[in-house]
Amino acid sequence: MKLTETDVLIIGASASGLMCAIEAGKRGRKVIVLDHANKAGKKILMSGGGRCNFTNYSIDAENYLSHNPHFCKSAISRYTQWDFIALVSDYNIPFHERQHGQLFCDDSSKDVLNMLLSECAAAGVEMRLSCDIVAVAHPTPDMFQVSTSKGDFSAASLVVATGGLSIPKMGATTFGYKLAEQFGHSVWPTTAGLVPFTVQPHDKAWLAELSGIAIDCVVSNERAGFRENILLTHRGLSGPAILQISSYWKAGETVEINLLPDLDVYEFLISQQQQRPNTLLKNCLSEHLPKRFITAFLSDEHIDTPLQELSKKQFKQITEKLNAWAFKPNSTEGYRTAEVTLGGVNCDELSSQTMESKKVNGLYFIGEVIDITGWLGGYNFQWSWSSGWCAGQVV
Ligand SMILES: Cc1cc2nc3c(=O)[nH]c(=O)nc-3n(C[C@H](O)[C@H](O)[C@H](O)COP(=O)(O)OP(=O)(O)OC[C@H]3O[C@@H](n4cnc5c(N)ncnc54)[C@H](O)[C@@H]3O)c2cc1C
């Protein structure tokens, strides 16, 4: 097989890999990016509902989960959201802010991908798509050799930018984790993050009937809490608040859902009982929540009873359900629909400045393959841009 020699080989032509390629190319390094997919940046294209939530006005280490909560700090402070916003602005890509500082393209995720591809072209980056990686060898301390379906490649720097496991049909593989282990790295166990919950069999029927209802809630557990919408679906519970807490959830646990975070339901019911004793419970509560939801959710809680016939104890029980619903998911929908993968290559074995392996010189890991997972809201792309940029300065 023909051997192509280059300075930098990057495996993975998506968010982190392209950013790294651009920066290395700008430094005059000869860069080749390999990807088994037939197109670069498929996840960028599908992100943010087709409008790519490419960063957030507020980026902080607290927005990331990792076994090493300090690791991300250096990269996100060196290549910031402002740097990426400046790049997007240079390309006159129209964008807008949604709630919580999230920045989305006005038109299409394609704008972000085309920008990255233009930058790659300008920096002389070469790309080999539909390229299956067969083996990676490290025959000498200063050279990696990658055998592929499109020939063999060698380089002094090898960058692994193969992402996580979510959406396998988009080309996600365990490649990066296996390669890390091949080179003596430890990998934290992976699970699906930012993913809808499936429900226990007894919750399935009533929830399915309410499919499509969205409610502004606080969803929390002992580790985190988020105020956003939850969305009832025919499969279970989704919506931003659920996706956020799913990253902090462990199998078998419950999460607490406050369906009326701005209302002390007990105080409200006591006052309503005095003011309008003949009002039915369901009519009273449906001023704050959809009636269909109240009827199904509180089916056994006297919803057709006038307030005057209900006791304080019953009010307490209703309050408990509405202000602190202890919801026990059956599971999550898994990698099939997850936005991200929790766990991954152990940060302690990488340089937080450069993403280089502390075990093997010239080997780098960037993006989602590392044990860094952002919240929903543009944090995952910012991690890809920041970590890719840092590696791009030194490879
Ligand atoms: C539906 C969805 C929507 C999302 N929306 C957002 C959003 O709006 N904002 C946000 O911040 N984040 C979002 N994310 C998360 C974000 O897409 C990822 O965190 C980000 O793409 C990670 O970038 P990466 O470069 O590390 O990996 P990826 O983007 O996953 O890219 C990995 C690349 O490696 C290639 N690859 C994998 N295995 C191999 C192999 N064995 N051989 C060769 N190539 C391989 C893949 O084909 C792919 O091109 C979303 C994710 C999903 C699934």
- The parts of the chain modelled with pLDDT lower than 70 are 1, 301
How far apart are the C-alpha atoms of 324 and 223, rounded to whole Å? 16
d(CA 11, CA 72): 21
The per-residue b/e assignment along 315-331, b for 16 or more CB within 10 angstroms, e otherwise, is bebbbeebbebebebee
| CA distance linking residue 120 with residue 118, whole number of Å | 5
Closest residue by Cα to atom 37, ligand 1, is 162
For residues 88 and 95, is the Cβ–Cβ distance under 8 A?
yes
Distance CA(295)–CA(290), nearest Å, equals 9
Residue of 46, 339, 383 to mutate, ligand 1, most atoms within 8 A of C-beta: 339
Q: Take atom 13 of ligand 1 and give the residue whose Cα is closest.
A: 47
Question: 105 C-alpha vs ligand 1 centroid, how far in Å?
Answer: 18
Which amino acid appears at position 212 of this protein?
G
Q: Which two tokens stand for residue 303?
A: 């919803």
Kindly report whether the global pTM for this prediction surpasses the value 0.95: yes
- Phi and psi of 27, rounded to 5°? -85, 5
What atom of ligand 1 comes closest to residue 12's alpha carbon? 34
**Ligand 1 pocket, residues with Cβ under 6 angstroms:** 11-17, 35-37, 42-43, 46-48, 52-53, 133, 161-163, 166-167, 171, 173, 175, 339-340, 367-369, 378-381, 384
The CA 96 to ligand 1 mean position distance, Å, reads 22
Measured CA to CA in angstroms, residue 146 lies from 131, 217, 262, 297, 320 at distances of 11, 50, 57, 57, 59
The residue whose CA has the least distance to atom 33 of ligand 1 is: 12
Q: Is 201 exposed, middle or buried (0-12, 13-18, 19+ CB in 10 A)?
A: exposed
Pocket test for ligand 1, best of 146, 162, 179 (most atoms within 8 A of CB): 162
Q: Which atom of ligand 1 is nearest to the CA of 170?
A: 47
Task: Among 14, 51, 130, 345, name the best residue to mutate to test ligand 1's pocket (greatest count of ligand atoms within 8 A of Cβ).
Answer: 14
Rounded to the nearest angstrom, the distance between the alpha carbon of 14 and the centre of ligand 1 is: 6
Extended beta strands in 161-224, E state: 187-193, 197-198, 214-220
Cα(367)–Cα(385) distance, integer angstroms: 8
**Do 68 and 348 touch, CB atoms closer than 8 A?**
yes
Give per-residue pLDDT as tens, 126-174: 999 999 999 999 999 999 999 999 999 999 999 999 999 999 888 899 9
pLDDT at 323: 97
Q: What is the pLDDT of residue 169?
A: 85
Atom of ligand 1 nearest to the CA of 51: 8
